[in-house]
Amino acid sequence: MDAVTLDTYTDLGVNHDRTGKPLGPSKKRLPSLTEAERDAYARVVTAGEVRFRRIEQERIPEAVAWHALRSLCAAPRS
């Protein structure tokens, strides 16, 4: 997920896990993310004030996710 997707689907943002436990900041590093994905991730896991900690990605329309996946697969590899 990149910043554009994060901003587009803010209405899917949550601050609690499925059991109702509040989500807090994280220091976990995810080395396989792209730079755009790392930037979006940093926006929700920072120790600072945030609107939400997680986007419920499974609620993003399937066609949007499919298009993103196809674009990623078609992108030139470095």
Task: Identify the band that residue 78 occupies on the pLDDT scale cut at 50, 70 and 90.
Answer: low
Indicate the burial class of 40 (C-beta count within 10 angstroms; 0-12, 13-18, 19 or more): buried
Residues 68, 74: Cα–Cα separation, whole Å: 10
Q: What is the mean pLDDT of residues 58-77?
A: 88
Residues 44, 48: Cα–Cα separation, whole Å: 9
- What SS3 class is residue 61? coil
Q: Which residue matches tokens 């910043």? A: 3
Residues 78, 64: Cα–Cα separation, whole Å: 25
The pTM score is 0.75
Q: What is the pLDDT of residue 61?
A: 94
Over residues 12-63, the pLDDT tens digits come to: 999 999 999 999 999 888 999 989 899 999 999 988 889 999 998 899 999 9
